[in-house]
Amino acid sequence: MIVFPNAKINIGLRITGKRPDGYHDIDSIFYPVRLCDALEFVISDQPIIKDILEVTGIDTGSEPDDNLVLKTLLKLRERFSVPFLKIHLHKVIPVGAGLGGGSSDAACMLKIINKHFELNIDNISLKSLALELGSDCPFFVDGVPLLASGRGEIFTPVKLMLSGYYLVILNPGVGINTAEAYKNCRPGVRSTSLLQLIEHPVTEWKEFIINDFEDFALRKHPVIGELKKELYKFSALFALMSGSGSSVYGIFSERPALPKELRYYVIWEGKL
């Protein structure tokens, strides 16, 4: 069975406070995009004593046993009987890029195991299991635009349609440690909600929709800020770093004529 876990971008990301449990409260709109990994599993025709995971494509920088896909299986086996599997994960979504690739892989693994083995886990319970794997994992169970609040696990539906706009995602090839990013952010409550801000035309978003992680990320890796400036230079209506970084995206009215030196950083582009 094969599925294609998709990425997301953050349209705005605001850190609103530090929680007693050590996490931070956020407000962010998660928007699904069509940049995808590929995830496949088969039941081995030979006896095996553990799951076998092969990872190809982009280097994850970690051992297979540390991959969220295998951790997902371990989590399921706490409650259900699932045989050992042979799994192939082809990574296209960069790791540590603010695009949610690992979380999407985990959520898709939950869904396909549930479907294939007829575990009959309902959608609410799937999201509860996904939350145990990561704060943004539940988003990928449905994969529709949502406002994420709390530590990223409280979702509110949003009426945000960007169909017809053209999206370009750039990745500078540098990583941002999420824990370090949170440590260097400055929480603050805003008077206007993101739900109100996205009601403005996309052409006005750059005036008031921000990512609170950008200040730290741009100081640490100036190339991120340079890429964002280049997107605006080539007529982006709105550009922002996604998540805690390091990817930057631009929303355009039509496909931009980007120069070769900028296209070097493009990891996905297409109509939304």
166-170/2-3 β-pairing: unpaired
| Contact of 102 with 95, CB cutoff 8 Å | yes
pLDDT for 192 beyond 80:
yes
More confident residue, 186 or 236: 236
pLDDT for 193 beyond 80:
yes
CATH code at 67?
3.30.230.10
Query: Catalytic positions, please?
Result: 8, 136
Distance (Å, whole) CA 144 – CA 103: 15
Same structural domain, 14 and 101: yes
What domain count does the chain have? 2
Q: Which one of 126, 157, 188 terminates a domain?
A: 157
* Helical (H) or strand (E) element with 271: strand 266-271
Same structural domain, 23 and 133: yes
Same structural domain, 199 and 174: yes
pLDDT of residue 127: 95
Same structural domain, 143 and 175: no
Tell me what the mean pLDDT of segment 154-169 comes to: 94
pTM: 0.94
Same structural domain, 136 and 7: yes
| Contact of 221 with 172, CB cutoff 8 Å | yes
Q: List CB contacts of 31: < 8 A, sequence separation 6 or more.
A: 8, 9, 10, 11, 145, 160, 162
Same structural domain, 99 and 192: no
Same structural domain, 18 and 115: yes
Same structural domain, 139 and 6: yes
* Helical (H) or strand (E) element with 26: strand 24-36
Same structural domain, 139 and 211: no
pLDDT for 89 beyond 90:
yes
CA distances from 174 to 42, 149, 152, 246 (A): 34, 27, 24, 7
Tell me what the mean pLDDT of segment 87-115 comes to: 96
Same structural domain, 138 and 7: yes
Q: Supply the DSSP string of 78-116, one letter for each residue.
A: TTS-----EEEEEE-SPTTSSS-HHHHHHHHHHHHHHHH
pLDDT for 22 beyond 80:
no
pLDDT for 243 beyond 80:
yes
Instruction: Order across the sheet with 238-241: list the strands.
Output: 238-241, 248-252, 166-170, 266-271
Distance of alpha carbon 216 from the chain centroid = 19
159: tokens are 């009426």
pLDDT 10s digits, 74-84: 999 999 999 99
Q: Which one of 127, 157, 187 terminates a domain?
A: 157
- Residues in the chain, total: 272
pLDDT of residue 61: 85
Domain that holds residue 205: 166-271
CATH code at 200?
3.30.70.890
Tell me what the mean pLDDT of segment 235-255 comes to: 97
pLDDT of residue 45: 83
Distance (Å, whole) CA 151 – CA 25: 5
Same structural domain, 25 and 114: yes
Distance of alpha carbon 167 from the chain centroid = 15
Q: Which one of 102, 123, 157 terminates a domain?
A: 157
Residue with tokens 């886990």: 121
| Contact of 106 with 134, CB cutoff 8 Å | yes
pLDDT for 191 beyond 80:
no
pLDDT, the chain, mean:
94
pLDDT of residue 23: 80
Distance (Å, whole) CA 232 – CA 219: 19
Tell me the backbone φ, ψ of residue 52, rounded to 5 degrees. Answer: -120, 120
Same structural domain, 119 and 175: no
